[in-house]
Amino acid sequence: MDNTSNFVEIKKTKKIWAIGSIHSNLKSFNSIKKFILNNFEKTDKLIFLGNVIGLGNNSKETLSSVIDLRFKLMSKFQIKPESIVFLRGAQEEMFNKLLQLQLAPNPSEIIEWMFDHGVDQTIKSYGLSDDELKNIASTGTINISKWTSNLNQIIQKNPGHIEYFLNLKHAAYSHTKKILFVNRGVDTTRPLSAQNDCFWWGFQNFSTTQKPYKTFLRIVRGYESEHLNQSEISSNNIICTLFKQPLSNKSVICGIFAENGDILDLFENK
């Protein structure tokens, strides 16, 4: 995996596959995975739009299955690593911050907030106790450092996991600059290079965007925090959301897109 840039330019392809937030729904993802393995072609590209982990109780197993798909596609088609892109979602951002908890000025408050947003399930999938971390968070930097060091060692024992977390991208776009892929949103008043954390935390009123962002005629995202009704989604020609609220639903949505922004197919599994 390449971490030289936060952005990926997608070149020389007719089909770009994009997978919305999985949130550890292993069964649903494996169904999507099977379909991709049966229908992917050598010149295709694949983008995971973030939030592979979190909320569900199979974070570790889901990430292993995602990495397995990457290896199988690379082996089957002899494609380059950059043909498969992983974007950072809010769940990955929070988990990375968790691994640096000893640097936080208020670790106990941060833990409570993260656990309210599903990070506790990721911890438990790696075999650690969320209650233990709550207790450790108030005992000082040394104990927290020991805990995060232990978690890092556990992650490293799972092939490809540490590389995944170290090489997440902020966004991807076609070489035509007609279609942009993000986790949650962009600040349409700023260039890509000045987005800060809008990609995974979102931007106010982004869901109502009705005109192109720069040269991008289509923005594909993997998460939506609001309960938009279907008419609002379908009437928006700019944004394509590969996610359905509520969070309790078990569907994973996948889309296939052309370099010019056209939607070639949309499908989901439960």
Q: What is the pLDDT of residue 205?
A: 86
Q: What is the pLDDT of residue 229?
A: 57
Q: What is the pLDDT of residue 270?
A: 58
Q: What is the pLDDT of residue 203?
A: 92
- The Cα–Cα gap between 186 and 220 comes to 11
Q: What global pTM score does this model have?
A: 0.94
Which residue has 């990430």 as its token pair? 63
Q: What is the pLDDT of residue 236?
A: 62
Q: What is the pLDDT of residue 2?
A: 45
Q: What is the pLDDT of residue 117?
A: 96
Q: What is the pLDDT of residue 249?
A: 86
Q: What is the pLDDT of residue 93?
A: 97
Q: Backbone phi, then psi, for 239, in 5-degree steps? A: -100, 130
Q: What is the pLDDT of residue 248?
A: 86
Strand order in the sheet with 171-174: 7-10, 171-174, 179-182, 218-221, 239-241
With a cut of 50, which residues of the chain have pLDDT below it? Answer: 1-3, 231, 233-235
Reported CATH class of domain 7-89+171-269: alpha beta
Smallest CA-to-CA distance from 22 within 95, 110, 90, 68 is with: 90
Q: What is the pLDDT of residue 228?
A: 59
Q: What is the pLDDT of residue 208?
A: 86
- The Cα–Cα gap between 154 and 9 comes to 33
* Residue range(s) in the chain whose domain bears CATH number 3.60.21.10: 7-89+171-269
Q: What is the pLDDT of residue 1?
A: 41
